[in-house]
Structure 1
Amino acid sequence: MKAAIVGGGVMGEALLAGALDRGIFEPADVTVVEKVEARRTQLRAAYGIEATGDFGPMGDAGLVVLAVKPQELATVKGRVRPGALILSIMAGVRIATIQAAFDHPFVVRAMPNTPAAIRAGMTAWTAAPAVTVEQRSVARQLLGAIGREVYVDDERKVDMATAVSGSGPAYVFLFIEALIEGAVTVGLPRAQAEELVVQTVLGAAQYAQESGKSAAELRAMVTSPAGTTSAGLLELEKGALRASVIEAVRAAFARAVELGGPA
């Protein structure tokens, strides 16, 4: 299958690299449509694929991946061949909007996140009713090449996932920053603080994934009465960490819905 990836940024490259690594595409069958010439040169050198600033290859592809910013959809000028699948990873942009923009019924909407760059992504996706079983299988294979994927039957849940797994890495990175600063303030050298914090967050996430226990149960297991963890958690509760995270998700969800425009 010939594929055109429109947008050669971080996420477009992640999908490209994952698909080539899994053998979903061959380099000769992929064209990246990218407006920045220096970026085109980088992608050609790294993956042996064709890269162009022209939208023409969209018309020859059986799969068109829209990996541009939501605000750039209007700049994508090109036809999509009948029967091709459009897979969009543009935050907030609804299936109906994409269908109208390209006069094309076969659209999958997905929301991966930045850990996809190391094949550790989390993607929620859904499909228009016209999308065939075979096309859904292609979407699942492609998204599975960059990490874990979950199909949702309600497009609104993609906006919800955008606020959680899409924006979530930024929340985690902010927490990592804060934990490193805390470590430094009590006397740890920054390099050691960074190593301790990053591995702690990684290990905690893996433990949460594999233990079969809820986050509340795991937190309780670490927290001894009147101990060090209890003292630290008390300060986090005083600072309304829990409420702030909840409100962050609510705000990101509202913005995702806003980006989609009127329903």
Structure 2
Amino acid sequence: MRLVIVGGGNMGGAILSALVMAKAVSPENILLIEPDEEKRVSLSKATGCLTQTEIDETLRTYDLILIAVKPQGSTPAMELLAQWILPHQLVISVMAGISMETMRGALGQSKLVRVMPNIPTLIAEGMSIYFASAEVDKRERGWIKTLFSACGSCLEAKDEDAVDAATAISGSGPGYLFYFAEQMTESAKLLGFSEADAHILVQ
């Protein structure tokens, strides 16, 4: 399995790190495309993956293309990908709110997967729900499970709507828990505990 990750931000970087740590994909089989030099160099040093700054014909030698750019950057990224992507390649998106219909129109691609990872993915303890188009075969579905099991746990949805619905549960849920823990910590401090002890109590 050879993988391209487009975008080395928080989520793209977290997925990359989790894959290498779990030995799900060998670093020499991962290409990170990231224009920001600091992010690119940092992730390359940490994981040993290959890197480059721009989307070009190089991605044609890979099996999977994972798009991990912010939703507002999706249009230019997909316009560039559409120039080089091949019909047999599997495209996986972790972009929030970008539908498969939108991706199909922009990329002209039928093998598509939408994934909704959540915040704990940043520490390889995430929960990812995904939906794959009918054109994605059994072997490719196995690849998806391998990738996102390395990031925590994963669940296949019966339809695309479930991916959006999951945002309110596994996507946003950890944020509420973090907020609750933060408030409990502050309450403990008001009761006279030091910040360090308050954190221990809440954890």
Say whether residues 1:194 and 2:199 are aligned partners. yes
Q: Residue 184 of structure 2 aligns to a residue in which SS?
A: helix
Say whether residues 1:124 and 2:129 are aligned partners. yes
Q: Is the 8 A contact 1:62 1:81 kept in 2?
A: no
Aligned residue-pair number: 198
In 1, the alpha carbon distance for the partners of 2:49 and 2:85 equals: 20
Say whether residues 1:70 and 2:75 are aligned partners. no
Structure 1 residue 54 displacement after superposition: 0.8
Structure 1 residue 18 displacement after superposition: 2.3
Structure 1 residue 90 displacement after superposition: 0.7
In 1, the alpha carbon distance for the partners of 2:121 and 2:129 equals: 12
Of all paired residues, the percent bearing the same amino acid is 35
Q: Is the 8 A contact 2:11 2:121 kept in 1?
A: yes
TM-score w.r.t. the length of structure 2 is 0.92
Q: Is the 8 A contact 1:106 1:130 kept in 2?
A: yes
Q: Is the 8 A contact 2:93 2:113 kept in 1?
A: yes
Instruction: Tell me the residue number matched to 1:58.
Output: 59
| Greater Rg by CA | 1
In 1, the alpha carbon distance for the partners of 2:75 and 2:53 equals: 16
In 2, the alpha carbon distance for the partners of 1:22 and 1:174 equals: 29
Give structure 1 stretches of 5+ with no counterpart: 200-263
Q: Residue 43 of structure 1 aligns to a residue in which SS?
A: helix
Q: Is the 8 A contact 2:3 2:29 kept in 1?
A: yes
In 2, the alpha carbon distance for the partners of 1:43 and 1:17 equals: 8
Structure 1 residue 187 displacement after superposition: 1.6
More strand by share: 2
Instruction: Tell me the residue number matched to 2:100.
Output: 95
Q: Residue 131 of structure 1 aligns to a residue in which SS?
A: coil
Of the three residues 160, 163, 184, the one matched with 2:189 is: 184
- The residue identity in structure 2 corresponding to 1:109 is R
More helix by share: 1
Instruction: Tell me the residue number matched to 1:33.
Output: 33
Q: Residue 113 of structure 2 aligns to a residue in which SS?
A: strand
Could you give the per-residue CA deviations for residues 177-226 of structure 1, whole angstroms, max 9, x where no partner exists?
111111111221121111111x2xxxxxxxxxxxxxxxxxxxxxxxxxxx
Q: Is the 8 A contact 2:33 2:52 kept in 1?
A: yes
Of the three residues 53, 76, 84, the one matched with 2:89 is: 84
Instruction: Tell me the residue number matched to 2:147.
Output: 142
State the Cα RMSD in Å.
1.3
In 2, the alpha carbon distance for the partners of 1:167 and 1:31 equals: 30
In 2, the alpha carbon distance for the partners of 1:86 and 1:74 equals: 15
In 2, the alpha carbon distance for the partners of 1:75 and 1:172 equals: 35
TM-score w.r.t. the length of structure 1 is 0.72
Say whether residues 1:169 and 2:170 are aligned partners. no
In 2, the alpha carbon distance for the partners of 1:173 and 1:110 equals: 22
Give structure 2 stretches of 5+ with no counterpart: none
Instruction: Tell me the residue number matched to 1:18.
Output: 18
